[in-house]
Amino acid sequence: MKAILLFIAGMILAGLLKAQVLVKGTVKDNKGRILAGANIALKDSYDGTMSDSTGSFSFKTTEKGNALLVASNIGYKTMELPVVLGTDSVVISFILKEEINELKAVIITAGSYEASDKKKGTVLKALDIATTAGANADISATIQTLPGAQKVGEQEGLFIRGGSAEEAKIIIDGTVVNNFFYSSVPGISQRGRFSPFLFSGTVFSSGGYSALYGQALSSVLSLESLDIPEKSELQVGLSPLFATVGLQQVANNKKSSYGFSYNWTNLAVYQKLVPQAPDFFKVPDFHTADMNYRFKTKKNGVFKIYAYYNSGTLGVRNPSLDSIGLWNAFSLKNQNLFTNLSFRQFLGNGWKINIAASVSYNKDEILTQVQNQQYQAVPITNISVIDQTGYSLNANQWMLQGRVVVDKRFGAINTIRFGAEVWNNADSSRFQSMNGLFPSSVNDFYKAGFAEADLYITNELAFRPGVRIEHSSLLNKMNVAPRAALSYKLGKNSQVTADYGIFYQTPERRYLINQPPVNFLRADHYILTYQHISSSYTFRVQAFYKDYVSLLKTSNNFPTTVSNAGLGYAKGIELFWRDKKTFKNFDYWISYSYLDTKRDYNNYTALVQPTFAATHSGSVVLKKFWVKNMFGVNWSYNWSTGRPYFNPNRNSKDFLIDRTIAYSSNNFSLNWLPKIGKANAVVVLGVNNVFNERQIFGYNYSSRLRDTNGDLIRSEINPPADRSFFLGIFLSWGVDRSQQNINNNL
């Protein structure tokens, strides 16, 4: 009996072994690379195995008939292949496609530099803006240390890749700030109005920017305000230049906050300590107040409102070049208002909405006079160039903007964005001179629709197509502006990007008072970028070409006679290198820009290099921080070759052939973060132009007085002082920013 049972068991075992089918094969990725450790199994079965170090696998199964063989591996899309399990072995090969995800995917840069403490691909951190020597916590001054942005010492604004200041737009939470800089003063560059500590993120695009924005031929600087702070905080700041106080109050449930601040700036003490070349007969005096309110919605949405108000006065005079012993006096009274509301909400299923609205208002009251030695207005002299120097101007600018952007995320990380915005601009002015009173007003209703998509073809290849459609009621014209960016990942931290786009802008409204039949200004961008970004190193090189297809041309005799006959180009190459690892607690970056640009626009008489463009420019920024002592030292060196300037002693054929001397400035600052009682303190000391290098931004010429050689006399345009200084102490209660400052310097 025992023998019979053993015989039956043997027969059953032999049958089972004969019924097993061998399944074998290999697993590779779509680039032919071996994938070890991939899971291979029959669907709805326990039979399976893993691929070995050669990518091969094999296992036996007793399953029969049609089945699905499944291969999976971390970072790759799961793949299923049909197999027929019979009596013969099954040989099959898997080629797995890489899963597209945010950690591994290429970054679509679109030619931008980003400053943020959170986002991938960051070139600068947010606090870099506040700690760069020579920038004096001015956002635009820090941007000028990056490739593509040039310093123009006699005029405020962003001058990007051969573009004028009007060709750059600055945006806060999606809406344009109509007067980001303090109002112009002849020959003296003005700083930006807003503190960098208001913002959590900064994206500076030197060209090829997103279709979500428009009305900028050259560049967009986008600022994102802070959400709800971590803790309540009281801040006080004191300096020979200003006094400031601010409060941020956070609700107990961390779902809402409100805050306000007040700043009084008066340069009386500073100008006594540091003599100024111009005579500031009315000391610059400014009062600034702002407030904010933020709250979170139930579905992780955020609503924010920010309101800013500033009023200020100043008066400055310089010796007249048209009559020895007389003075040209300029006085300014300014009021500025900016209010922004923004709301973002996740709607579920990959949908998100961003809504923003803003109001901008600016009022300038300007009075210019020719004054005698007693600083009294000179009566009519019957010398036209002197009498026409005096005038008064009251100018008002209103801008209302509304904007909606909807995002839809699909697939792994693909995104489509679309939306619309409207602007309503209303300008009015009253200009009075010896020739009479000239009131004017001009209005423009601008509307635009836009769409853009981030399409990740693979982890290495991404495409961003976009389009923007715009219409201006003042021009009564419409345009269509396509944009595109293609990015390819070369390695873990490196990639190349190609950008193309058409960019339109409405001409300055002061030229459109008589509503001439002109069209949008236009520039076409072509950009190629290579970048390597890691936590320790950043290297970026960009080559660009910008074709100005349509610029404004004016007549010398009739400035309001305009056309779109202007043209120009800008091309060049830019380098950026940042190193935060080589030396302990030492951080530095180096930037260089080569620019070849010419244009024939406004009242230019030829295609020439414009007065605001230097052929070569660069910066070196150094930061050293001692964590133990909470002490930091910063240095920056900014330089550029000479810029063209207008010389009326030249013949017309020699228009803008003269150059200023090269510009250079070494700047130093230190910051110390002690604990004073219960207050967290920041002490800042800064010196600009440490070595007293001579800086000439251009020349002013007389219209009638000549020297012994018969040339019209001139005076240099220089900074108000050879050196400038800053000393301030900032105290805060409630938030210890020590770790934040340490992290920023690591």
For residue 213, what is the domain's CATH number?
A: 2.40.170.20
Q: What is the pLDDT of residue 126?
A: 61
45/137 same-domain check: no
What does the alpha-carbon distance between residue 568 and residue 326 come to, in Å, rounded to a whole number?
A: 40
Q: What is the pLDDT of residues 165-191, one digit of tens each?
A: 999 999 999 999 999 999 999 999 999
CB 97 within 8 A of CB 77: yes
Q: Which two tokens stand for residue 130?
A: 């506040």
Report CA torsion sign: 701, 705, 707, 710: positive
- Please indicate, yes or no, if residue 261 is contained in any of the structural domains: yes
**Pairing verdict, β 494-505 and 521-533:** antiparallel
Which residue, 96, 128, 160, sits at the end of a domain?
96
Dist CA 295 CA 305 (whole Å): 9
DSSP 719: -
Q: Are 306 and 321 contacting, i.e. CB atoms less than 8 angstroms apart?
A: no
| Rounded CA separation 228/234 (Å) | 15
Give the pLDDT mean for 312-320: 96
Helix (H, G, I), strand (E, B) or coil at 255: coil
* Of residues 106 and 638, more confidently modeled: 638
Number of domains comprising the chain: 2
The DSSP secondary structure of 82-94, one letter per residue, reads EEEESSS-EEEEE
**466-497 pLDDT tens trace:** 999 999 999 999 999 999 999 999 988 899 99
Residue pointed to by tokens 């944009």: 483
Positions of E strands within 514-615:
521-533, 537-554, 562-579, 586-600
**pLDDT by residue (tens digit) across 2-12?**
444 444 344 44
Domain boundary (96, 120, 148) is at: 96
Amino acid making up residue 295:
F
Residues 552, 606, single domain; the answer is: yes
Statement: residue 575 has pLDDT above 60: yes
The H-or-E segment that residue 57 falls in is strand 56-61
Q: Are 551 and 410 contained in the same domain?
A: yes
Q: State the pLDDT at residue 197.
A: 83
Cβ-contact 263, 236 below 8 angstroms = no
Out of 195-209, 553-567, 594-608, least confident range? 553-567
- Selection from 572, 571, 552 nearest residue 562 by Cα: 552
Quickly state the pLDDT bin for 103 (edges 50, 70, 90).
very low
E strand map for 209-326: 219-225, 233-238, 242-250, 256-266, 279-296, 302-319
Phi-psi map region of 382: left, alpha, beta (phi>0 left; psi -120 to 50 alpha) = left
Q: How far is residue 401's CA from residue 220's CA, in Å, rounded to a whole number?
A: 17
Q: CATH number, domain at 83?
A: 2.60.40.1120
450 and 418 in one domain? Answer: yes
Which residue would you say has higher pLDDT here, 548 or 5? 548
Q: Which of 590, 593, 680, 673 is nearest to 636 (CA)?
A: 590
Of the candidate ranges 10-24, 144-158, 217-231, 550-564, the one whose mean pLDDT is the lowest:
10-24
Classify residue 734: in a domain, yes or no.
yes
Residues 357 and 340: beta-carbon distance below 8 Å: yes
pLDDT, tens digit, 9 for 90 and up, residues 690-741: 999 999 999 999 999 999 999 999 999 999 999 999 999 999 998 655 544 4
Q: Is there a single domain that holds both residue 57 and residue 164?
A: no
What is 376-397 written as a DSSP string?
A: -B----S-HHHHTT-EEEEEEE
The pLDDT value recorded for residue 114 is 54
Residues 334 and 363 in one domain: yes
Eight-state DSSP code of residue 660: P
Distance separating alpha carbons of residues 696 and 659, to the nearest angstrom: 10
CA within 13 Å, CB half, 58: 8
- pLDDT tens-place string over residues 296-309: 988 789 999 999 99
Separation CA 85–CA 70 (nearest Å): 14
Amino acid at 424: N
Query: Which of 578, 485, 466 has the alpha carbon at shortest distance from 529?
Result: 485
- Strands 21-29, 90-96: pairing kind: parallel
**For residue 124, what pLDDT is reported?**
61
Domain contains 7: no
pLDDT at 41: 87
Least confident of 15-29, 276-290, 443-457, 620-634: 15-29
User: Which two three-digit tokens encode residue 684?
Assistant: 């800042």
Number of helices and strands in the chain (H, E): 6, 41
30-75 residue pLDDT tens: 888 888 888 898 887 778 888 888 889 998 888 888 899 999 887 7
- Judgement on whether residues 671 and 609 belong to the same structural domain of the protein: yes
Asked if the structure places residue 267 within a domain, the reply is yes
Range 509-521 average pLDDT: 90
The SS3 assignment for 528 reads strand
d(CA 299, CA 178): 33
Range of the domain at 74: 20-96
- Residues 73 and 136 reside in one and the same domain: no
Is residue 164 within 8 Å of residue 610, measured between CB atoms? yes
Do 435 and 353 lie in one domain? The reply is yes
Q: Are residues 87 and 217 in the same domain?
A: no
| 267 and 280 Cβ atoms separated by less than 8 Å | yes
Q: Which residue has the higher pLDDT, 260 or 4?
A: 260
Of 743 and 257, more confident: 257
Computed over every residue of the chain, the mean pLDDT equals 89
CA-based diameter of the chain, in Å? 141
Q: Say if CB 221 and CB 170 are below 8 A apart.
A: yes
Domain boundary among the residues 96, 120, 149 is at 96
Residues 325-346, buried b or exposed e (16+ Cβ, 10 A)?
A: ebbbbbbbbbebbbbbbbbbbe
In a domain, residue 654? The reply is yes
Contact 99, 75 (CB under 8 A): yes
